[in-house]
C-alpha cells in the first residue's frame, strides 16, 4: 500500500463488511446493509451488514458455546496470553493499514491514528495479555476447621457496545480484559465506524483466537445494541457512550440482571492557577480540548483561568489555536479533521449559536470550515458563566468555554458544579493546591500539570453521571471476573 505521505481514501482496502459470528463472515439474517460514510468527503465508503436481534442471538449462542464448552476459558492461561500477544504483534505489523482505515472511517488525522490510537491499542492488548496467567484468588482464614479460598472466574459472555470516537482503541480496551479473564465476546461497534473493529476480528482469527471467542455484529443501537443488552445468554454489558443510552441499557438489562460497566460523558474542568507554567498550561488546554476534534469524553471543555492571568493566558491559547491546520485527514500536516457525521456537526453548530445567544464572546472560530465534509473551526468562547448551556452540556466538538475565577475554595465548588465526573485537571506550581484539588474534585481521573495522559495500567472511568466501574488496570480486569468462595471442612 502507499505510504501515508501519499495516501488517499481510494488506496485503502475495505475487506470486512459482514457480521463475524462463530468464526464466519456472514450477511445479516435480514440481508440488510447500511452505509458507512467518510466524514471528510461525505461519500459512502462501503455497505456494512446491518445486524439485528437474530444476528445477536446467533453471536450470543456462539459465544456461549465457546465459553461453556469451548477452548477459551479452559485453555491454559499462558496460552491465552500468548495468543493475545500474537494479536498485539499482528496489529503492530499492520499498523499503517489499520491507521489508514481508522482515518478513513472516523476522519481523525492520520498522524493521530498512527501516533496515539494505534500505540495505545497495542499497549492495551499487551498489558492484558500479561495478566492472563496472573488472575487468582486468595486463601482466607475463617472460623473453625475449614480451608476457605476464593477463585476469580471469568464472568462469562461479555456484551460490548462502543462509540465512534476511538473505534479501535475502544475495541482494545474492551477485548483486552475480557480475553485475559477468559470471557467470550459479542461486540456491537458504533454504526458510524464499524470497519476497524471488523478488521481486528479478522486479525484475531488469523493469529488463532478460536472461533466463537470474538463475535462482532455491526448495526444500530436500538436494534442490535438493545438485543445485546437483553440477551439472556450474555452475562455482562460493558458500554461506552452517552449517559442517556446508559439509562436505557440499565432499564433494558434489568430483566436479566446483567453486570454493567459504563464509561459515559463529561464536562471536565481544566483549572489554570496564576502560578502555573502558562506556556505548558496553554498547550495542555489546547490539546485537552481539541484532541480528536473535541470528540473525547474527557475533553477539558470547561476551562477555568485565574483572573489575574486571564489576558496573557488567552494570548497564548489563541495563538496556538490559530496555528491549527484543518483539512484532509490523510495529509500528515493536518491537525484537525471533520466531525463524525451530520448529526454531530449540526449539534455542535447549534451549541455555537446558543453560546452567542447567551452572551458569551466568540473570540475564535465559530463557523463551518470549507463546504465539503463535517469540518468545524476550532472555537473559543470567552466570558462564559457557569449556567450557560455551553458550560453545562457536553458538546463533543471543538468548542472551548473559558471561565474565570478568583480563589481556591471558589474553584473547587465550581469545578464540581456539573452532574458529570469523568476527568479534571489543574495547573499550578503549588503542590498543596494541586493535592487539595486532586482530593476534592469529584472525578475519576485528575491530571496535574498534564492532560490526556493515558496508560493501559491506569484505571479510567467516572464519578456521578459519567458512569460506574473502571476500565484499564487491574480494576478493569476485575470487571470481567466473578469471585467464587470455596469452603472445605477439614475435620
Ligand atoms: P454517541 O452519541 O457517541 O453515538 P451513543 O450512546 O448514542 O453515543 O452510542 C454509543 C453506542 O451505543 C453505539 O454503538 C450505539 O449504536 C449504541 N446504542 C445506542 N442506543 C442504544 C441502545 N438503546 N441500546 C444499546 N446500545 C445502544
Query: What pLDDT digit, counting tens, does each position of 198-211 carry?
Result: 999 999 999 999 99
Give tens-digit pLDDT for 48-89. Answer: 999 999 999 999 999 999 999 988 988 999 999 999 999 999
What pLDDT does 7 receive? 63
What pLDDT does 491 receive? 83
For the chain, give every residue range classified as CATH 3.40.605.10. 9-265+467-486
Report the atom number in ligand 1 closest to the C-alpha of 165: 3
Mean pLDDT of 129-144: 97
**CA 346 from centre of chain:** 22
What pLDDT does 74 receive? 86
Say how many Å lie between the CA of residue 221 and the centre of ligand 1: 5
Report the atom number in ligand 1 closest to the C-alpha of 244: 6
* Mean pLDDT of the chain, nearest integer: 96
Residues labelled as active-site residues: 263
What pLDDT does 9 receive? 74
Report the atom number in ligand 1 closest to the C-alpha of 189: 14
pLDDT at residue 1 greater than cutoff 60: no
pLDDT at residue 323 greater than cutoff 90: yes
Topology (CATH) of 9-265+467-486? Aldehyde Dehydrogenase; Chain A, domain 1 (3.40.605)
Three cell numbers written together for 488: 472445605
The CA distance from 167 to 189, in Å, is: 7
Which residue among 245, 297, 339 is best mutated to probe the pocket of ligand 1, counting the most ligand atoms within 8 A of its Cβ? 245
Mean pLDDT of 302-320: 98
Which residue among 50, 162, 190, 227 is best mutated to probe the pocket of ligand 1, counting the most ligand atoms within 8 A of its Cβ? 190
Mean pLDDT of 368-378: 97
Q: What is the pTM of this model?
A: 0.97
Given pLDDT bands bounded at 50, 70 and 90, which one contains residue 3?
Answer: very low
pLDDT at residue 5 greater than cutoff 70: no
Phi, psi of 111 (to 5 degrees): -65, -40
Three cell numbers written together for 365: 472560530
Say how many Å lie between the CA of residue 285 and the centre of ligand 1: 28
Give ∠ CA 139-144-150 in degrees, rounded to 5.
20
List all residues whose CB is within 6 A of at least one atom of ligand 1: 161-163, 188, 190-191, 220-222, 225-226, 229, 241-242, 245, 248-249
Phi, psi of 180 (to 5 degrees): -60, -40
DSSP symbol at 179:
H
What pLDDT does 73 receive? 84
Strands 361-364 vs 379-382: parallel, antiparallel or unpaired: antiparallel
CB 262 within 8 A of CB 426: no
The CA distance from 352 to 337, in Å, is: 18
Give tens-digit pLDDT for 244-262. Answer: 999 999 999 999 999 999 9
Residue minimizing CA distance to atom 15 of ligand 1: 221
Say how many Å lie between the CA of residue 98 and the centre of ligand 1: 23
What pLDDT does 121 receive? 98
Which residues, in sequence order, are CB contacts of 287 under 8 Å at separation 6+? 451, 452
Say how many Å lie between the CA of residue 371 and the centre of ligand 1: 28
CB 429 within 8 A of CB 275: yes
Tell me which of 2 and 454 has the higher pLDDT. 454
Residue minimizing CA distance to atom 14 of ligand 1: 190
CATH of domain 269-448: 3.40.309.10
Mean pLDDT of 27-50: 98
Cell numbers 473505534 label which residue? 167
Please give the order of strands across the beta sheet that includes 379-382.
361-364, 379-382, 399-405, 302-306, 269-272, 423-427, 445-448
pLDDT at residue 318 greater than cutoff 60: yes
Mean pLDDT of 367-383: 97
The CA distance from 44 to 262, in Å, is: 31
Mean pLDDT of 301-308: 98
CB 414 within 8 A of CB 304: yes
What is the b/e burial string over 393-411, where b = at least 16 CB atoms within 10 angstroms of the residue's CB?
bbbbbbbbbbbbbeebeeb
For the chain, give every residue range classified as CATH 3.40.309.10. 269-448
Say how many Å lie between the CA of residue 237 and the centre of ligand 1: 13
Amino acid at each position: 500500500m502507499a505510504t501515508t505521505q501519499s495516501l488517499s481514501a481510494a488506496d485503502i482496502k475495505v475487506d470486512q463488511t459482514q457480521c463475524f459470528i462463530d468464526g464466519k463472515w456472514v450477511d445479516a439474517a435480514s440481508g440488510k446493509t447500511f452505509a458507512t460514510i467518510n466524514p471528510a468527503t461525505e461519500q459512502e465508503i462501503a455497505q456494512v451488514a446491518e445486524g439485528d436481534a437474530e444476528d445477536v442471538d446467533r453471536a450470543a449462542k456462539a459465544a456461549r458455546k465457546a465459553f461453556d464448552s469451548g477452548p477459551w476459558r479452559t485453555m491454559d492461561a499462558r496460552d491465552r496470553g500468548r495468543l493475545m500477544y500474537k494479536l498485539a504483534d499482528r496489529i503492530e505489523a499492520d499498523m499503517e493499514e489499520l491507521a489508514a482505515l481508522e482515518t478513513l472511517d472516523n476522519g481523525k488525522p492520520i498522524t493521530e491514528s498512527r501516533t496515539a490510537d494505534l500505540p495505545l491499542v497495542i499497549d492495551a492488548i499487551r498489558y492484558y495479555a500479561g495478566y492472563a496467567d496472573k488472575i487468582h484468588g486468595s486463601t482466607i482464614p475463617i472460623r473453625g476447621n475449614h480451608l476457605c479460598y476464593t477463585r476469580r472466574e471469568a464472568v462469562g459472555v461479555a456484551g460490548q457496545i462502543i462509540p465512534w470516537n476511538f473505534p479501535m482503541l475502544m475495541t482494545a480496551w474492551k477485548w483486552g480484559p475480557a480475553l485475559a479473564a477468559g470471557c467470550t465476546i459479542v461486540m456491537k461497534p458504533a454504526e458510524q465506524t464499524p470497519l476497524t473493529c471488523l478488521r481486528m476480528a479478522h486479525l484475531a482469527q488469523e493469529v488463532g483466537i478460536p472461533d466463537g471467542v470474538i463475535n462482532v455484529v455491526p448495526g444500530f443501537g436500538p436494534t442490535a445494541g438493545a438485543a445485546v443488552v437483553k440477551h439472556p445468554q450474555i452475562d455482562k454489558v460493558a458500554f461506552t457512550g452517552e449517559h442517556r443510552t446508559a439509562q436505557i441499557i440499565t432499564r433494558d438489562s434489568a430483566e436479566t440482571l446483567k453486570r454493567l460497566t459504563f464509561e459515559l460523558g463529561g464536562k471536565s474542568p481544566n483549572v489554570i492557577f496564576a502560578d502555573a507554567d502558562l506556556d505548558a498550561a496553554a498547550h495542555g488546554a489546547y490539546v485537552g480540548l481539541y484532541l480528536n476534534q473535541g470528540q473525547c469524553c474527557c475533553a477539558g471543555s470547561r476551562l477555568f483561568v485565574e483572573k489575574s492571568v486571564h489576558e496573557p493566558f488567552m494570548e497564548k491559547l489563541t495563538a496556538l489555536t490559530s496555528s491549527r491546520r484543518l483539512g484532509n485527514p490523510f495529509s500528515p500536516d493536518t491537525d484537525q479533521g471533520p466531525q463524525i457525521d451530520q448529526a454531530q456537526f449540526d449539534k455542535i453548530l447549534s451549541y455555537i449559536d446558543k453560546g452567542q445567544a447567551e452572551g458569551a464572546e466568540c473570540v475564535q472560530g465559530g463557523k463551518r470550515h470549507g463546504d465539503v465534509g463535517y469540518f468545524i473551526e476550532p472555537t473559543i468562547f470567552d466570558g462564559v458563566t457557569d449556567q450557560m448551556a455551553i458550560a453545562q452540556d457536553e458538546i463533543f466538538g471543538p468548542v472551548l468555554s473559558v471561565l474565570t475565577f478568583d480563589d481556591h475554595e471558589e474553584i473547587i465548588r465550581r469545578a464540581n458544579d456539573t452532574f458529570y465526573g469523568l476527568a479534571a485537571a489543574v495547573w499550578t506550581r503549588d503542590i498543596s493546591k494541586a493535592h487539595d484539588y486532586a482530593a476534592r474534585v469529584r472525578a475519576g481521573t485528575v491530571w496535574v500539570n498534564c492532560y490526556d495522559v493515558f496508560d493501559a495500567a491506569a484505571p479510567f472511568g467516572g464519578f456521578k453521571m459519567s458512569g460506574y466501574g473502571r476500565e484499564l488496570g487491574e480494576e478493569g480486569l476485575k470487571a470481567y471476573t466473578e469471585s467464587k468462595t470455596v469452603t472445605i471442612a477439614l475435620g
